[in-house]
Amino acid sequence: MQPWSRYRFRSVWDLDAPPARVYCVLEQAGQYPSWWPQVRGAERIDERSSALCIRSVLPYEIRMTATRLLRDPARGVLEAALHGDVEGWARWTVRPRRGPGGNGTRALYEQEVEVRRPLLRTLALPARPFFRLNHALMMRAGRHALAARVAAPPEAV
């Protein structure tokens, strides 16, 4: 594994909704395309796996299979193995957030992957800053979309 083809991502999303509601939305990966614009497709394979297609700003798609490794609502943790154009894992950790203005949720997203798709591996070193920016823009859009999703009436989620 070459260091330039490995990525670690970390995003923190502060949301004005109860942790249980945020967790409920995040655990339904098959529904991501209905609220997260950069998740272009999600097809359930079985009880633990979904095929995902993701595209942010740059003109390429990432295709992968996400297989649930851990689902722990009591601790607020969701973790999946990723296989396909990227190989590695992703984890959501959902916790209560207390602060001015009331209660809410802090959702931490962590991901460690190696790029496997040949073209992206070839571009991994020269395009690294653009790949990281592309991911950051996707996560920012996801945070805004999730905030709107959890603000909707419960029957809409």
pLDDT tens per residue across span 106-149: 999 999 999 999 998 898 889 999 999 999 999 999 999 999 99
- Number of domains composing the chain: 1
CATH of the domain at 107: 3.30.530.20
- Cβ within 8 Å of residue 74, ≥6 positions away: none
Q: Give Cα separations from 24 to 18, 32, 42, 104 (angstroms).
A: 10, 12, 17, 14
Q: What are phi and psi of 94, to 5 degrees?
A: -110, 125
Tokens encoding 99: 């602060």
pLDDT greater than 70 at residue 156: no
pLDDT for 133 equals 96
pLDDT for 101 equals 61
Q: Are 102 and 120 in contact (CB under 8 A)?
A: no
Q: What is the tens place of the pLDDT at every residue in 22-46? A: 999 999 999 999 999 999 999 999 9
Q: What is the tens place of the pLDDT at every residue in 44-59? A: 999 999 999 999 999 9
Between CA 114 and CA 107 the distance in angstroms is 23
pLDDT for 13 equals 97
pLDDT greater than 80 at residue 154: no
Q: Which of 17-21, 58-62, 101-105 has the lowest mean pLDDT?
A: 101-105
In the block, residue with structure tokens 């297989």:
67
Q: Please give the residue that has the higher pLDDT: either 7 or 99.
A: 7
pLDDT for 155 equals 62
pLDDT greater than 80 at residue 157: no
Q: What is the tens place of the pLDDT at every residue in 53-79? A: 999 999 999 999 999 999 999 999 999
pLDDT for 73 equals 97
Between CA 7 and CA 132 the distance in angstroms is 8
Tokens encoding 149: 């999703």
Q: In which domain, by residue range, is 11 found?
A: 3-156
